[in-house]
Amino acid sequence: MLKGRYLLFNQGAAQMVGKKIEEVIGRDDTAILSPEEARYVMENDQQVVFSGETSSKEEVLTLANTPRTYLSTKAPYRDNHGKIIGIIGISRDITKRKQVEEQLREQATLLDKAQDAIVVRDLDHHLLYWNRSAERLYGWTAREALGRSVKELLYQDASEFHAATNAVLEKGEWIGEIQQYNRDGKALTIEGRWTLVRDDQGQPKSILAINTDVTERNKLKQQFLRAQRMESLGTLAGGIAHDLNNVLAPILMSIELLRRQEKDPRRQDILSTIESSATHGADMVRQVLSFARGVEGRQVEVQVGHLLREIEKIANETFLKTIQVRRDVPDDLWTVKGDPTQLHQVLLNLCVNARDAMPQGGSLTLSASNMLLDEQYAAMNIDAKPGPHVVIQVEDTGTGMSPEVVERIFEPFFTTKELGKGTGLGLSTTMAIVSSHGGFVQVQSEPGLGTQFRVFLPARTTTGSSDAVVAENDLQQGNGELVLVIDDEAAVRQITRQTLELFGYRVLLAADGTEAVGMYATHKAEISVVLTDMMMPMMDGQSTIQILRRMNPDVRIIAASGLNTESMAAKATKAGVTHFIPKPYTAETLLNALHQTLHEPA
């Protein structure tokens, strides 16, 4: 076949090309192929002749008017002296296999694009499939996860896992919520939809799991349920307080009558004790009513800075000398409209709690700042409303609280103090007062690391109520600069993108440091600034910053975090970043940071 003519052509080949054997024998490839395809095949044949080696290659050819894919294996045919005198070729139609492979690739691509984590494990719990969303959610790449036990990888307590797995094996599916942990040890609340997969004989083969991260959704749900619970407790407490007032009123009124009739000093002392206890009870009832009904008081313009100065004076005079009190209030602090006596009570309650949390001494910091809350901030906190606010911060270095305690601190009568040392009404009253002023309270605390209370109060700006909300045009505008936003929370990414695009920026989104590095390598010349979260799975913010700076020492970076902001800011600074913003950030804070970063000298 050195001249390209067929010497042997079997029946299978004839059926494949739609020709009779005699129509092909003695002719070259033009008998069955178009001139272009015939030239392509003959070139492949010549390569086999010249190399003297067997070749296997996929060829896409049009035979019998149908394009199909063939796996062609060709080998040189030699005579007794080893001289090549022809080619032996075997072709196999693999069109269907290629179509199946393409379909599988398309399905795999779709699974990788799914927002849910999709994993498959065998009946011994070893992972067989792990899509891209699973990589983003849990922090392990597919290469790291495949073959490992899902039980050991994602669970600290396997009891829930075994219960759900047994339900799948018994019923064929399981739907519910389960606790899992990512690579960094962060607890995740997962809504799982698990299905039993069977083989061709109907025997159980594996378990397909589609897992959705509902951690943030459940936090909002808990906030809503807590608000409902507080409202119900308020109604109940109001009813009890009303009845208690009816009990205490005649006691207090009767004491004075008895005192006028009683001359015995010992009995006068007993009456004084009864009066003191009843008065204390009446004060508690007033606090309960404040919590239950909300607090009404006179509404005047209040200088928060003056209140903090008074609280600082009281703390310095009455607290242990081992507690250092510091105050930080800017001169341009906005005013709030409210009752100064009630706001004084709020600050005093928070400071007394801080004092009690530092029996061996420590540091108490009182500060205030102006903050414009926008729609983005409100979307990230269920209690927030857009507009100008004064934020009062009371921070101590005391014993701190566990998440379980933080969950309940605003409930009336809940206290962690010893019997007789606390009524459990201080913080519930604080919440009622702040709510009646249109504000809200945020708490951050960790055992052994202290507690931070932030009181948000609607403010009146110095330019008057007509300028209370800063117009969008007053905020810093972008000029088409491309910003790479890196954050593992989808809601934060989307809200930030919408905000930046509204103010004239272009945006690229990355769910983690690994994805961000790849994006930066591709768009390095276009990206003007990088905004990165410091706490992320797979590759944290500090590592991401270090890699980006190695790629481009002049890269402009803004770091952000909502966890232990001082520590995270220090990490960012250590990595060479000069701009840090705490989360959740407002649009004004973000846009100002971008403007400063983009316009500072390189």
Q: Is 374 exposed, middle or buried (0-12, 13-18, 19+ CB in 10 A)?
A: buried
The reported pLDDT for the residue numbered 77 is 84
Of 574, 334, 359, 569, whose CA–CA distance to 456 is shortest? 334
The reported pLDDT for the residue numbered 6 is 82
Over residues 492-505, mean pLDDT:
85
From first CA to last CA, the distance across the chain in angstroms is: 70
Alpha helices, H only, 407-560? 426-436, 490-502, 513-523, 541-551
The reported pLDDT for the residue numbered 39 is 84
Q: Find out whether 433 and 356 touch, Cβ atoms under 8 Å.
A: no
Q: What distance in Å separates the CA atoms of residue 341 and residue 295, rounded to the nearest whole number?
A: 11
* Residues 6+ away with beta carbon under 8 Å from 108: none
Over residues 133-154, mean pLDDT:
91
pTM of the model as a whole: 0.40
Q: What is the pLDDT of residues 580-598, one digit of tens each?
A: 887 656 677 888 999 999 9
The reported pLDDT for the residue numbered 176 is 93
The reported pLDDT for the residue numbered 218 is 76
Q: Is 282 exposed, middle or buried (0-12, 13-18, 19+ CB in 10 A)?
A: middle
Of 446, 459, 246, 202, whose CA–CA distance to 332 is shortest? 459
**Higher confidence at residue 413 or residue 332?**
332
The reported pLDDT for the residue numbered 470 is 38
The reported pLDDT for the residue numbered 85 is 79
3-state secondary structure 411-431: CCCCCCCCCCCCCCCHHHHHH
Highest mean pLDDT among 295-309, 331-345, 503-517: 503-517
Q: What is the pLDDT of residues 552-565, one digit of tens each?
A: 999 999 998 755 45
Q: What is the pLDDT of residues 13-62, one digit of tens each?
A: 887 777 888 887 888 887 788 888 888 888 888 888 888 888 888 888 87
Question: What is the DSSP code string of 285-322?
Answer: HHHHHHHHH------EEE-HHHHHHHHHHHHHHHS-TT
Q: Find out whether 204 and 198 touch, Cβ atoms under 8 Å.
A: yes
Could you tell me if residue 504 is left (phi over 0), alpha (psi between -120 and 50 degrees) or otherwise beta? Answer: left
Above 90 in pLDDT, residue 323?
yes
Q: How many CA atoms lie within 13 Å of 479's alpha carbon, on the beta-carbon side?
A: 4
Q: Find out whether 591 and 501 touch, Cβ atoms under 8 Å.
A: no
Over residues 243-258, mean pLDDT:
69
The reported pLDDT for the residue numbered 557 is 94
Q: What distance in Å separates the CA atoms of residue 513 and residue 307, rounded to the nearest whole number?
A: 45
Q: Find out whether 504 and 477 touch, Cβ atoms under 8 Å.
A: yes
3-class DSSP assignment, residue 55: strand
- Write the DSSP symbol of residue 149: B
Q: What is the pLDDT of residues 73-122, one digit of tens each?
A: 888 888 888 888 788 888 888 878 777 667 656 665 666 666 788 899 99
The reported pLDDT for the residue numbered 229 is 65
**91 φ, ψ to 5°?**
-120, 135
- Write the DSSP symbol of residue 438: T
Residue 73 host element (H or E)? strand 66-78
Structure tokens that stand for 331 in this block? 């001169």
The reported pLDDT for the residue numbered 113 is 64
Of 454, 452, 453, 459, whose CA–CA distance to 438 is shortest? 459
- Write the DSSP symbol of residue 202: S
Q: What is the pLDDT of residues 378-406, one digit of tens each?
A: 776 767 888 999 999 999 999 998 888 88
The reported pLDDT for the residue numbered 555 is 93
Alpha helices, H only, 190-264? 215-261
**525 φ, ψ to 5°?**
-70, -25
Above 90 in pLDDT, residue 178?
yes
Above 80 in pLDDT, residue 334?
yes
Above 70 in pLDDT, residue 237?
no
Alpha helices, H only, 52-131? 95-113
Over residues 466-483, mean pLDDT:
64
Residue 421 binned pLDDT confidence (cut-offs 50, 70, 90): low
* Residues 6+ away with beta carbon under 8 Å from 445: 400, 401, 405, 406, 451, 452
Over residues 253-273, mean pLDDT:
79
Above 60 in pLDDT, residue 473?
no
Residue 459 binned pLDDT confidence (cut-offs 50, 70, 90): very high
The reported pLDDT for the residue numbered 233 is 62
Percent of the chain with pLDDT over 90: 30
Of 299, 385, 293, whose CA–CA distance to 342 is shortest? 299
Average pLDDT taken over every residue of the chain: 82
Least confident of 227-231, 303-307, 442-446: 227-231
* Residues 6+ away with beta carbon under 8 Å from 320: 355, 358, 361
Of 75, 42, 88, 87, whose CA–CA distance to 61 is shortest? 42
Above 50 in pLDDT, residue 1?
no
3-class DSSP assignment, residue 601: coil
